[in-house]
Amino acid sequence: MSTAPAKTTLALDVHGGDFGAAVTIPAALDILKTHTDVEILLCGIPADIQPLLAKHASSKRLITIEASHALASDARPVEALRRGRGSSLWLAMEQVANGRAQGCVSAGSTAAMLALGVKLLGMLAGIERPALMSRIPSATGHTSLLDLGANLNVSAYQLVQFAIMGSVASPLDNGAKPTVGLLNVGHEDSKGDSVVKEAHVMLQELPINYVGFIEGHDIFAGKADVAVCDGFSGNLILKSGEGLAKMFFRHLEMALHSGWRARIGGILAKPSLQQVLARFEPSRHNGAPLLGLRNVVVKSHGNADREAMGHAISEAIEEARRQVPQKIESMIQDYSIEADI
């Protein structure tokens, strides 16, 4: 495996997301202040970039790559492939494809990122489809969940590939292998459809830390470090969890303002509540790597603010430094997954 470069260069789609350059450029400048060995290529329309750069102390490690246009936030794959050339997203991925950058970040259309990622970067050998992964809060810290919507219908082999990719991309601080669970409607081997049953059998034969079937509540309980499922289920779990958290904290806020006793209790509990809220702050979990491509690609939430975009960029830096795609490819080859497909 090649050695990671001393300097990490990332390509940033300036116009992706709801707020575009107003968020991406300040976030990029924040990252350069804390990462002295990082260079960022701003892929975007100069007329939109220069006024913002003029408001901030610029950096020689911030380089503009001129784009002719930006894709719509809801761009579909066909549109991305037909109209994508010269766009900010296309150029960001192109910098990675030609070796100028080690990874790219965008808050643009997931469908467009998938289409251009496969076209410009290509898939790793032995991987059939890319998968989106996100780290969500759990009782034990966080759980990596994939896929989140890139693949609504999957085969057993693809679930196995997701498990391997998630295992590689979710290292533990103590160096141990992360535990991997397969989402199902029950823990028993007899439960589930034929796809998850077949994947379950194959995963038991691999030297990853597979713990078997898990249910939805096990994800938030932290029963596995990595939770594997199809994109339909993963997207439902992610969005339902976000909605539940918002509802809970809204009711908590109402309760803490329901009377003078509640207000006093809220003041006394404020430090502890802030710690809890910080764990569930969406910006801290922003940045979903698109695993399975030959290079690092990280998807930011479309409504990400400056702090959240910074987390997405940091995720891409970490993935590039750890050489996650190369490690995934090596593990797939070691397990002979490609030969079995």
Structure tokens at 174: 């103590």
Domain with CATH 3.40.718.10 in the chain: 1-126+292-322, 128-282
Percent of the chain with pLDDT over 70: 93
Percent of the chain with pLDDT over 90: 63
Residue 57 has pLDDT above 70, yes or no: no
Radius of gyration of the chain (CA): 21
Residue 341 has pLDDT above 60, yes or no: no
Structural domain 1-126+292-322, CATH architecture: 3-Layer(aba) Sandwich (3.40)
Query: What's the pTM?
Result: 0.88
Nearest-5° angle of CA 271, CA 272, CA 276? 120
Residue 337 has pLDDT above 70, yes or no: no
Give residue 320's pLDDT band: very low, low, confident or very high (50, 70, 90): very high
Is pLDDT larger for residue 230 or for residue 335? 230
Burial of 121 (0-12, 13-18, 19+ CB in 10 A): buried
Residue 79 has pLDDT above 50, yes or no: yes
> If you average pLDDT over residues 299-303, what whole number do you get?
90
Residue 238 has what pLDDT? 85
Is pLDDT larger for residue 200 or for residue 141? 200
Burial of 34 (0-12, 13-18, 19+ CB in 10 A): exposed
> If you average pLDDT over residues 109-137, what whole number do you get?
93
- For the stretch 307-316, pLDDT in tens is 999 999 999 9
Residue 279 has what pLDDT? 63
128-282 CATH: 3.40.718.10
DSSP characters over 108-125: S-HHHHHHHIIIII-BPT
The torsion angles phi and psi of 174, rounded to 5 degrees, stand at -85, 0
Is pLDDT larger for residue 11 or for residue 57? 11
Beta bridge partners of 9: 39
- For the stretch 272-295, pLDDT in tens is 767 766 666 665 678 899 999 999
> If you average pLDDT over residues 139-145, what whole number do you get?
89
> If you average pLDDT over residues 92-114, what whole number do you get?
95
Is pLDDT larger for residue 180 or for residue 138? 180
